[in-house]
Amino acid sequence: MIRLASPGHALFAATFIGLGVLGLIQGDFTPIWAGVPKGVPARESLAYLCACVSLLAGIGLLWQRTAVVASCMLLTSLLLWLLAIRVSRLFLDPPAVVTWWACAETAAMAAGAWVLYAWFASNRRESRFSFVAGDKGLCIARVLYGLALIPFGIAHFTYFKETVVLVPGWLPAPDAWAYFTGAAFIAAGVAILVRVYGRLAATLSAWEMGLLTLLVWVPIVAGEPNAYQWSEFVDSLALTAAAWVVADSYRGVPWLALSTR
């Protein structure tokens, strides 16, 4: 077994193992791999392929000898999915917030995979694993993550009524919480992109995603959730895992650093 790079590493790997098992059981795309039109040839085979990639990558991330290959495979798959499935939708319906959200979701997951690839590849002596690893890889991963946070925040305002409904009933001023969470995502994304208080922004955004999962979606799925609510719960859990991996990449950077590499 590999020495875990961070707690986020363990959560990220476990999440993809779970997604892989879920995909194989359902025989359909899990939320992370959604977006394939029903008329696409061999759609069912592609769904099983995505499930296998998730499962094998998740397991591979936990083994010393396979960590680099597993993180590279997962990163490549997510980047291809981002370009072929997510970004292509922007040309069909550019103004739709849901389209930008889907792109941001995949970008955030790719950022998590890229951080792990950068870590593992930089620790290997083989030169073939040195491309886009180390500090350069971490920088690109953080940019992807920062860009992803902005559509997350915008969606809170665009779908404001739907967001307010999700605020737990025991919290006062639900409108204020909806505005606050949306603004927090946008502010964190900008901070990461301009490299000002990057570690603080990434960590707080990870906490925000984790709390949203715990306070909003866990109570919902503990009841009698429908398919959409289950999908949103899985999405939120996977994004939380990716967020913590990115936040962990700032270890060694001062919390209040005005500039991060």
Q: How far apart are CA 33 and CA 105, in angstroms?
A: 10
In a domain, 203, yes or no: yes
Q: How many residues does the chain have?
A: 261
In a domain, 180, yes or no: yes
Q: How far apart are CA 221 and CA 208, in angstroms?
A: 19
pLDDT score for 127: 46
Q: Evaluate the CA torsion angle 188, 192, 196, 201 in order and state its sign.
A: positive
CB neighbours of 33 closer than 8 A, spacing ≥ 6?
Answer: 23, 47, 50, 51, 54, 81
CB neighbours of 131 closer than 8 A, spacing ≥ 6?
Answer: 121
- Please report, for residues 19, 73, 86, 114, the alpha-carbon distance to residue 79 in angstroms, rounded to integers and kept in the order given: 18, 10, 10, 10
Q: Which of helix, strand or coil describes residue 1?
A: coil
**Counts for the chain of helices (H) and strands (E), in that order:** 11, 0
In a domain, 261, yes or no: no
Residue 114: is it exposed, middle or buried by C-beta count within 10 angstroms (0-12/13-18/19+)?
Answer: buried
pLDDT score for 260: 55
Number of domains present in the structure of the chain: 1
Instruction: Assess contact for 213 and 241: CB atoms under 8 A.
Output: no
DSSP 4: P
In a domain, 12, yes or no: yes
Rg, C-alpha atoms of the chain: 18
pLDDT score for 251: 86
In a domain, 110, yes or no: yes
In a domain, 258, yes or no: no
The parent domain of residue 17 ranges over 7-248
The token pair at 20 is: 């892989």
The token pair at 33 is: 């791999």
In a domain, 259, yes or no: no
Residue 152: is it exposed, middle or buried by C-beta count within 10 angstroms (0-12/13-18/19+)?
Answer: buried
Q: What is the pLDDT along the chain (261 residues), one digit of tens a residue?
A: 566 667 788 899 999 999 999 899 988 898 889 888 888 889 999 999 999 999 999 999 998 889 989 999 999 999 999 998 888 877 776 666 678 888 999 999 999 999 999 888 877 654 455 557 778 889 999 999 999 999 999 999 999 998 999 999 899 999 999 999 999 999 999 999 999 899 999 999 999 999 999 999 999 988 888 878 888 888 899 999 999 999 999 988 887 766 555
pLDDT score for 95: 67
In a domain, 196, yes or no: yes
What is this structure's pTM? 0.89
